Amino acid sequence: MKQNFTVRHGALDGVEAFLRVAEFRSFRRAAAELGVTPSAISQAVRALEERVGAPLFIRTTRSVGLTEAGERFLSRARPAFEELVAAGALARELAQRPAGRLRLSVPRGVLPILLEPILASFATAYPEIELEIAASEALVDLAAEGFDAGIRMGQYIAADMVAVRLTPPFRMIVVGSPSYLADRTPPKQPEDLRQQACLRWRRSNGAVAPWSLTDGNRELEVVVSGPLIANDFPTMLNAAIEGMGLAQLPGPMARAALDDGRLVEVLDRFAPTAPGVFLYYPDRRQVLPKLRALVDHIKNRQESDALGPDLPGHAR
């Protein structure tokens, strides 16, 4: 038969008072140790005895001793209370200095640009932090999956999350390799994409996403087709460089390939602007020093090393 277990309200009330009286064999000394009146200690112990259902102390005008029930209670309560105190101290340490395990859910495209360049310096600066990175395109439930925070593009972060900007906005550009474009007429208008081989990405909900473009103040969605569907930007980037087709990518991710000529931008005036990449977490009160240390370290690195104004995130 299934039993219901509950913790009674105030189940621990009076335990510390009991332990101090048992240690000093004195209500008065216990009261002085805890900074309360002897009357308050006496009331706390009496309430504890009522909940336990047995007297825990033998009291006379000259001395205080433990009953057999008190001895048994003491043998179990003392180590349990010490463990609770130690647990509180360990938890408090995490709120006082950067330490402990920091779990992040991060898109693959962010890792080489945002995190990999700072891993070594971050580990050196904060040796008490153990950084765990789960590289995934999925929009995970941070609390349910046990993550401290996630990193994503701003438009895909739920409204009830606290978001800390890591990058300014950036353009989502359409690019292709010179070898691909050599045999085809480059697209001049969004509708020209229907005659192109376009590399597509699959959203975390399973749907294949159309390409998003802009024409002045007008937002356009263009359904494209092509030889490859991927669920992450790095795969699409490499496929575009290899000449498989056109790809729509975060500008910063394609920057190096554009600079060295491996890719060429097309439809540049139709490129929409994404809001940027953010670190996000559930509650402002949950910003422990370990998380704040990472945010500050990333921003300091961006400022000192000029990593660039924009970084890619995940599009859903």
pLDDT value for 8: 46
What is the rounded (10 degree) CA torsion for 193, 215, 177, 229? -60
- Overall fold of domain 15-95: Arc Repressor Mutant, subunit A (1.10.10)
pLDDT value for 307: 41
Which CATH number applies to 170-274?
3.40.190.290
Point out which residues pair with 59 in neighbouring strands.
Answer: 64
Residues of the chain with CATH 1.10.10.10: 15-95
Residues of the chain with CATH 3.40.190.290: 170-274
At 172, give phi and psi (nearest 5°): -100, 110
135 is written with which tokens?
A: 């590289």
pLDDT value for 305: 55
- Overall fold of domain 100-168+276-305: D-Maltodextrin-Binding Protein; domain 2 (3.40.190)
Residues of the chain with CATH 3.40.190.10: 100-168+276-305
Chunked mean pLDDT (size 10), the chain, 316 residues: 44 85 93 92 92 91 90 92 80 75 88 83 91 85 87 84 86 96 93 95 84 93 94 93 96 94 96 90 77 86 56 42
| pTM value > 0.85 | no
* HSE value, Cβ hemisphere, 13 Å, CA-based, for 166: 27
